[in-house]
Structure 1
Amino acid sequence: MKFTALKGFDQEAFNKYLKNTGWLMFGKLLSLIVNLLIARYLGPILFGDLSFGLSLVAIMAAVGALGLDTFIIREIIQEPNKRDEILGTSLWLRLITNALLIPIVIGIYLFSHHLTPNPSEQPLTLLIGLLALASFFKSFNVIDSYFQSQVQSKYVVHVQNTSLIVTAIFKIIVISLGLPLIYIVLAYVLDGLILASGLIIIYQKRGLHIFDWNFDKQRAKDLLKKSTPLILAAVMVSIYMKIDVIMLKSVGSKAVGIYSSAQNLSEAWYFIPVAIVTSVFPALLNARKTDLNRYLKRLGNLYDLMVLISLPIAIFISFFASDIIHIIYKGKFDGAGPMLSIHIWSGVFVFLGAASSQYLIAEGYTRIAFYRTGLGAIINILLNLWLIPKYAGLGASVATLIACIASTFFLLFVSKTRNQGILMLKSLFLVNLFKKILKIEQS
């Protein structure tokens, strides 16, 4: 019974992504613990400043990724002999874009800060500039995409964990010495630098050479043409996941800090669907080529798995949210409990959305991916405009939940994708699980 939802995947594939998830879990758990220590150390106001900067840069990073990750995987699988051209072109596109985005994001912040100045709050120009620099190093994540295409994500996970351990030690030293916020921000720059260097090193150690990469103008045009809807979709995802923090800044850094303390705990689980769908995506593509029924069955099983993981988490945390906040943050962020009890339910729909996004990519429905995330972003912004002035972080939590539901189940309202929407609904209401339980009882 325990692994019924995984029946559609072969044991070898399951073992691979289970192992990858285990390594990722170690890294994410370490990161979560350190971030909780940082929040407790900084307190609501300074933690609010850090969270605001990270959220603003996260939207920039969505642009800088250029929506290329999945396309790099697909292109390499389809044209393995063009590997160096695909990776080289993708890297240069990202380097140029991310370099241009650093002054742009600083300019956006300065403009918005000038429009809504708060004399009691210090400008965050240096903080945002350094976080944008840290994001620049993510350009080298094209190497991660290569290893995913070869189902060799374990190498990347090892690099990620090494980087996390080094920066975790650095952050703990900063906290122990009582150093100011800017040193914690420098840890993010260090993390980006170590990760980029590590990716290059493991690529070279596999007998491959980054200096063999080349830029092709026509390939660049083709990649950008294909990925443009995904760029916009990724920006929309970032907006409806992060815009609440940015809009809360109008209430004050303290409000941002309290809300972010709940948001961080709620989103701590989001690496799980990413790890799973990343590992099974090549298997889904292969099944689509060879056996359509098996492909559809695998998608249904994937949705079931997403719900079976996320639903118990949401139920447990929603009941004990206030106690969890009080214990973890030692009373510094009391008031975040009700926000967490609402926000945690967004995860159920994020899990389903992550799984269905792989279906949209496999089918080439990039416009639909854009439309559904655009809908989520618009709903979130409108609800935040209405709810944040009245209820601050509690209103932002409600807005995020409604936006996630609308975005995920937008597929129900498009004829091409309605069947997938129905599959997700069945998974959400545990229809398949109950069928399997009844079948076992009858047998």
Structure 2
Amino acid sequence: MKFPVIPGFDANAFQKYLKNTGFLLVGKVGSLIIKMLVGFAVANYLGKAQNGILNYANSFVIVFLAIAALGLDQFVVREFVKNEEKKETILGTSVRLKLLGVLLILPLIYCIYPLYSNPQTPVEYVLIVALTGFFQAFNVLDSFYQAQVKAKNIMIVNIVANILSAILKLLFIFLHLPIIWFIWAFVIDAALLSIGYCSIYRKKEGSIFDWHFNKKLARNLLSKSWPLMFSAVLVSIYMKIDQLMIGRMLGEDSLGIYSTVVPLSEAWYFVPIAIVSSVFPAIITAKKQNEQRYQKRLQNLYDLMVLISVLIALMVSILAPYIYKIAYKPEYFSGASVLSIHVWAGVFVFLGSASGQFLINEGYTNISLYRTAIGAAVNICLNLLLLPLIGIKGAAWASLIAYACATFTIFLFRNSRKQGLMMLKSLFFISLFQQAINWRRNKINS
């Protein structure tokens, strides 16, 4: 199948990247549908209190797993693009570093959790969820296939793993099993994905036992990726701190309701990741060939991010009451108005994903660290202020404002200020209007 080619892009390369994006989107959409349907069933089965406990454990662990990932997932894409012939060494080194990271964070979780624990969520639940980190270490294979623009492999693994996971959770519900089984389901989900990635790699590339660890490469990766690690930790904090603070300040029932909002709002965040991951190699190539083309592609990317995210936010805001009435028990209905607020944070997440790739490509990883730190600080402060006043709606407003602040912190730095202006042009549809006017003029002149 051939897609129309956009002027300025190499025809063959464009077909390759667009098809790769399509495979990523198909895989993510398929997984999204499965997860949402099962998520409705699990939330209704557990009830808002136990659903709150389940999500508190997961939210707490996610922050620490970001430390264990060491910021490598994004950085190794560039390493694979530059040194494809060294794949065994890059994979072996990255996986072992991430496994070591998980071993180090387990005692850290055990020591820190009592200081910020939820009385209803035992430490055992948190430690079980933390075991997912051992399997997530193999997610570096996801980065490997993204770098090779072979998203079809990722799509197959994601869909199969999610179908198996869905069947298992529905079986738990059918058998009326207690919440501990759903805690273990987090580990099983991660295991299914890692087994799938390794199986595809063995079939297409070779054995994972051929991977090598290289100390020099490990030092090089860590020296360059540590800002991304701190950035990932801060992103996890300001994306999950609202749930942790709700659990502590408002209780499990409120967290259970809010926990239905976040998946519906953030379900779309795979879209910018899929698009940006697929076109990142093309953007790197454009930088080498022509600066003007490089900037044009970035502007087009920002325009696309805004257009898609605004359409999604409008659609979800309008449909939110109907989604809750159809999918959830009445005890969850108050989440609809919260969803209508929270979903607009996606506009800034989409822009942040695109500009984040610019920062990585230019080597400005320290800016990523600063802007996510500001976003995390804003989110924490606003949650402290708004949660006692307006409840879980306050958490939604805090997330929206924090994401906007984090994205446009890029203005504070001279090297990235131009990108901030470009994003503003996209946000207010100035760039799209300019392109429409130019297209109209060209059509009249022709």
Query: What range is the shorter-chain TM-score in?
Result: over 0.9
Unpaired segments of 5 or more residues in structure 1?
none
Match of 2:25, SS? helix
Q: Is 1:382 paired with 2:381?
A: yes
The one-letter amino acid of 2:323's match is: I
What is the Cα deviation at residue 363 of structure 1?
0.4
Counterparts of 1:126-141 in structure 2 under 5 Å?
A: 126-141=124-139
Counterparts of 1:28-427 in structure 2 under 5 Å?
A: 28-113=32-117, 118=119, 121=120, 123-250=121-248, 251-427=250-426
Decide whether the 8 Å contact of 1:84 with 1:213 is kept in 2: yes
Match of 1:268, SS? helix
Decide whether the 8 Å contact of 1:6 with 1:305 is kept in 2: no
Percent of aligned positions that are identical: 43
Aligned residues: 435
Residue 364 and residue 129 in structure 1: after superposition, are their counterparts in 2 closer, same or farther (change >3 A)? same
Residue 370 and residue 211 in structure 1: after superposition, are their counterparts in 2 closer, same or farther (change >3 A)? same
> 2:54, 2:110 → 1: CA distance?
15
The one-letter amino acid of 1:211's match is: F
Decide whether the 8 Å contact of 1:262 with 1:325 is kept in 2: no
What is the Cα deviation at residue 284 of structure 1?
1.1
Unpaired segments of 5 or more residues in structure 2?
none
Q: 1:330-380, CA deviations, whole angstroms, 9 ceiling, x for partnerless residues? A: 322021122111101000100110111000000000000100011100111
Q: 1:279-319, CA deviations, whole angstroms, 9 ceiling, x for partnerless residues? A: 11111111111222111111111111111111011123223
What is the Cα deviation at residue 440 of structure 1?
4.3
Q: 1:265-289, CA deviations, whole angstroms, 9 ceiling, x for partnerless residues? A: 1111111111111111111111111
The one-letter amino acid of 1:152's match is: K
Match of 2:415, SS? coil
> 1:306, 1:129 → 2: CA distance?
37
Match of 1:270, SS? helix
- Root-mean-square deviation (CA, aligned residues, Å) is 1.8
Decide whether the 8 Å contact of 2:93 with 2:218 is kept in 1: yes
Decide whether the 8 Å contact of 1:6 with 1:302 is kept in 2: no
Match of 1:22, SS? helix
The one-letter amino acid of 1:69's match is: D
Of 276-285 and 316-325, the range deviating more from structure 2: 316-325
The one-letter amino acid of 2:52's match is: G
- In the superposition, the TM-score normalised over structure 1's length comes to 0.94
Decide whether the 8 Å contact of 2:23 with 2:155 is kept in 1: no
> 1:305, 1:366 → 2: CA distance?
23
What is the Cα deviation at residue 6 of structure 1?
6.1
Residue 336 and residue 6 in structure 1: after superposition, are their counterparts in 2 closer, same or farther (change >3 A)? farther
The one-letter amino acid of 1:138's match is: Q
In the other structure, the counterpart of 1:27 is 31
> 2:74, 2:380 → 1: CA distance?
27
> 1:5, 1:407 → 2: CA distance?
34
The one-letter amino acid of 1:429's match is: F
> 1:431, 1:207 → 2: CA distance?
46
Decide whether the 8 Å contact of 1:49 with 1:253 is kept in 2: yes
Residue 194 and residue 55 in structure 1: after superposition, are their counterparts in 2 closer, same or farther (change >3 A)? same
